[in-house]
Chain A
Amino acid sequence: MPSESASERRLASSGEASPAPLLVTLAWRNLWRHTRRTLVMLFALLLGVWSMIVMAALVRGSMEQHIRKEILNLTAHVQIHSPAYRDDPAVEHRFAAPSSLADALTQTPITAASARVRVPAVVSSEYESAGVMLVGIDPQRERGLSFIDKAVKLGRDLESAGDPGLVLGRKLAERLETGLGRRVVLMSQGVDNQISDRGFRVVGVFDADPQAMETGYVFIGLEIAQQLLGMGNEVSEIAVMTDDRNHLDALVERLRATAPGLDVAPWTDVQPLLVLMEKVNNVVLLVWFAVVFAAMAFGLINTLLMAVFERTREFGLFQALGMPPRFILGQVLAESLILLVLALILGNVVAWASVAGLKGGIDLSMFAEGLQLVGISPVIFPTLATGDVLIANVVVIVLGVLASLYPAWRASRYVPVEALTRT
């Protein structure tokens, strides 16, 4: 390679000049001495980076969907209860909202807040009866707070807190052999410990996901529920929705101060399983990153070792001409760095493109039943999270360079005479 030997001569003579541009040039040219090998390596790295980012996007997407769905499924961002209610959601554990709370619930960042009666009940038709959660809602205020205002697919929504009708889930309607326009009987325990019951006409049938929502909940007007159970103006819970579910601490503190004696719980307390799932997902992603990276690293080290080994004589010559070993180290590292950076750029672009291409969601409805069991919805919308992309990139570049230290160190440790005489 005439051009290279020319550079070396220049290096030997120029002395003080920074070696970086030279090393990079050398590394770049060395890479393309074996175009096919480099391309294969590049492709392997690219695939690894792509899989890390796309996998993360899928996991995040499905998690985000799951959390949003659960929050709409009557969880909301913050719930206010009487202290014992969450352990035993019975009618005894009711409370009257203090008037100061009403003001606090209209302030930012609260976007919606509504009181509910939520107690266990039995709903029966002529043929069957089923245990359900009876939810008394104020339909106007429930808007944007839970799924129910958009979920009624047959018949109509409840219209007001005094609406005498009842809305139940499609699956429950099937199970009870009842339907729109027919009457069912709700039975529950009233405040006086007596059985409260009343007939209701089914005015709406809703669809929900997961199906347990369809079989587990019936909705009636809040005022009707209070009348039925003899609760007066008292309620079981107040649900609060804000504009940002991740920063609730200040709000929770404020509500606790406004309503001392009541249990103010953010969704992370109400649904600890969701938080746990998120943590598990983080670990799964990290494990995935580690596995993919380990595979990539072995390929990378192997390729670099090959490259170093076949250039033994060359490195001997560099040293004989006066190149310090650290430059040789730098040269191999630069080679690996260029490869990694190229792979990262391409990998990120391809990953972004494939996530963008899947914006419409990945339809897994053929496995819907199995997925429902684990709480994943049949259509996954991948979501790119900056954090994950950053971690993937940092993992690849930092660990990649660390992994290439070994071949680079090997290259820099040759004894010039031995290296030159090796055949």
Chain B
Amino acid sequence: MRTFSLLLVLLISPLATAQEAAPVNATALVKAAIEYWRDVSSMAVFEMNIHRPDWQRSMTMKVWTRGNKESLVRVLAPAKDAGNGTLLLDNDMWSYNPKINRVIKIPSSMMNQSWMGSDFSNNDLAKADDLIDQYRHTLLATETHNGHKLYVIEAVPNETAPVVWGREVVKIRDDHILIEHAFYDQSNVLVKQLATTEVKMMGGKMVASRERMQRIDKPDEWTDIVTREAQFGLKLPASTFTLANLRNPRN
């Protein structure tokens, strides 16, 4: 969900930038960033480009989100993948393939596998919100980024958190846009990184419109996510986020 939300909802808050609270609460910063990019609800069209040394492919998808727990993704193009869908309700995930006309619940054994062949795992999508309550956050440094203040926050998972990483480092701009998210293993080696390369005004707020997920040990493999259009704060019916809607689209 992190990714969807990232590409959808990274917001600007003109008011917040002006205020300089003396002690910065790292957890609050992370929480604010996540709530910001999730918004109340959203609908967006984005393009996913998967790059490999010997091939490349591009998909266009539409995504709906509501609150922190509900998301639905549907593939629009290319034609051969059109209609494929993924529904996320909290930590559970279902996938629908029109060719076999089946909804498949993604079992726990597959949660670590790649989502639609990209560099994102199913878990990357399903567990984005864990960043708030399963980690301890510390503010490491403050930098500047395109005239904005950039908070460098280290997030260390709790002992029993279902997180494999040793630590994660997120860079959050003072307008709540997540600029970088780095995943370190337990020997403190950087494993993969999500970086925002373009921030744009979209659907009435600033959005991280171009992001790249890359594994450090495979420099010529990456997945780019480019947001084409986005709308926020829509009234989405509860029926959007149901298995029935996953199977038989009504919108």
Provide 26 A-B residue pairs closer than 8 Å at the C-beta atoms, listed in order of the A residue: A122-B108, A126-B165, A126-B186, A126-B191, A127-B191, A129-B112, A131-B109, A164-B160, A178-B186, A182-B186, A183-B157, A183-B163, A183-B166, A184-B164, A185-B164, A187-B111, A187-B112, A189-B108, A195-B91, A195-B92, A195-B108, A197-B108, A197-B162, A199-B161, A199-B162, A199-B163
Residue of B nearest to A129 (CB): B112
Residue of A nearest to B107 (CB): A189
In the assembled complex, B185 has its CB within 8 A of some CB on chain A: yes
**Interface extent on A, as a size class?**
20 to 34
Q: Which of A302-336 contact B (CB under 8 A)?
A: none
B183 partner residues in chain A, CB cutoff 8 A: 126
In the assembled complex, A201 has its CB within 8 A of some CB on chain B: yes
A164 partner residues in chain B, CB cutoff 8 A: 159-160
Residue A183 contacts which of B91, B108, B164 (CB distance < 8 angstroms)?
Answer: B164
Smallest beta-carbon distance B214→chain A, Å: 15
Annotate A278-309 by CB proximity to B: 1 below 8 A, 0 otherwise.
00000000000000000000000000000000
Residue of B nearest to A189 (CB): B108
Q: Say whether B108 contacts A185, CB under 8 Å.
A: no
Smallest beta-carbon distance A223→chain B, Å: 14
Annotate A118-151 by CB proximity to B: 1 below 8 A, 0 otherwise.
0011101111010100000000000000000000
Q: How far is the CA of A187 from the CA of B159 in the complex (A)?
A: 15
Residue of A nearest to B217 (CB): A127
Q: How far is the CA of A199 from the CA of B158 in the complex (A)?
A: 8
Q: Say whether B160 contacts A198, CB under 8 Å.
A: yes
In the assembled complex, A404 has its CB within 8 A of some CB on chain B: no
Q: Which of B159-193 contact A (CB under 8 A)?
A: 159-166, 183, 185-186, 191
Residue B186 contacts which of A129, A183, A186, A194 (CB distance < 8 angstroms)?
Answer: A183
A122 partner residues in chain B, CB cutoff 8 A: 108-109, 111-112
Q: How far is the CA of A365 from the CA of B111 in the complex (A)?
A: 40
Residue of A nearest to B184 (CB): A126
In the assembled complex, A188 has its CB within 8 A of some CB on chain B: yes
A200 partner residues in chain B, CB cutoff 8 A: 160
Q: Say whether A126 contacts B109, CB under 8 Å.
A: no
B161 partner residues in chain A, CB cutoff 8 A: 198-199
Q: How far is the CA of A199 from the CA of B159 in the complex (A)?
A: 7
Residue of A nearest to B185 (CB): A126
Residue of A nearest to B105 (CB): A193
A182 partner residues in chain B, CB cutoff 8 A: 186
**Interface extent on B, as a size class?**
20 to 34
Interface on chain B toward A: helix, strand, loop, or mixed SS? loop
* A187 with B109, Cβ < 8 A, contacts A126-B166, A127-B185 known: yes
Q: Say whether B159 contacts A185, CB under 8 Å.
A: no
Smallest beta-carbon distance A423→chain B, Å: 90
Q: Say whether B160 contacts A194, CB under 8 Å.
A: no
Smallest beta-carbon distance A347→chain B, Å: 57
Residue A187 contacts which of B162, B185, B186 (CB distance < 8 angstroms)?
Answer: B162
Residue of A nearest to B187 (CB): A182
Q: How far is the CA of A178 from the CA of B107 in the complex (A)?
A: 23
Q: How far is the CA of A104 from the CA of B211 in the complex (A)?
A: 63
Q: Which of A159-211 contact B (CB under 8 A)?
A: 164, 178, 182-189, 194-201
Smallest beta-carbon distance A348→chain B, Å: 57
Smallest beta-carbon distance B176→chain A, Å: 28
Q: How far is the CA of A334 from the CA of B27 in the complex (A)?
A: 99
A120 partner residues in chain B, CB cutoff 8 A: 109
* A199 with B185, Cβ < 8 A, contacts A122-B108, A126-B165, A187-B109 known: no
Q: How far is the CA of A164 from the CA of B166 in the complex (A)?
A: 18
Please give 7 more A-B residue pairs, beta carbons under 8 A apart, in addition to A122-B111, A186-B162, A195-B111.
Answer: A125-B164, A183-B164, A183-B186, A195-B92, A195-B108, A197-B162, A199-B159
Q: How far is the CA of A184 from the CA of B161 in the complex (A)?
A: 10
* A199 with B91, Cβ < 8 A, contacts A122-B108, A124-B112, A189-B108 known: no
B191 partner residues in chain A, CB cutoff 8 A: 126-127
Q: How far is the CA of A157 from the CA of B92 in the complex (A)?
A: 34
Q: How far is the CA of A4 from the CA of B18 in the complex (A)?
A: 131
Q: How far is the CA of A419 from the CA of B112 in the complex (A)?
A: 93
Q: How far is the CA of A187 from the CA of B95 in the complex (A)?
A: 19
B91 partner residues in chain A, CB cutoff 8 A: 194-195
Q: Say whether A185 contacts B163, CB under 8 Å.
A: yes
B163 partner residues in chain A, CB cutoff 8 A: 183, 185, 199
Q: How far is the CA of A197 from the CA of B90 in the complex (A)?
A: 14
Q: How far is the CA of A19 from the CA of B201 in the complex (A)?
A: 122
Smallest beta-carbon distance B129→chain A, Å: 14
Smallest beta-carbon distance B213→chain A, Å: 15
A194 partner residues in chain B, CB cutoff 8 A: 91-92
Q: Which of B106-123 contact A (CB under 8 A)?
A: 107-109, 111-112
Residue of A nearest to B157 (CB): A199
Residue of B nearest to A181 (CB): B186
Smallest beta-carbon distance B143→chain A, Å: 26
Q: How far is the CA of A125 from the CA of B160 in the complex (A)?
A: 14
Q: Say whether A187 contacts B108, CB under 8 Å.
A: yes
Q: Which of A23-58 contact B (CB under 8 A)?
A: none
Residue of A nearest to B127 (CB): A197
Q: How far is the CA of A67 from the CA of B128 in the complex (A)?
A: 48
B165 partner residues in chain A, CB cutoff 8 A: 126
B157 partner residues in chain A, CB cutoff 8 A: 183, 199
Residue of B nearest to A187 (CB): B108
B164 partner residues in chain A, CB cutoff 8 A: 124-126, 183-185, 199
Smallest beta-carbon distance B145→chain A, Å: 28
Smallest beta-carbon distance B111→chain A, Å: 6
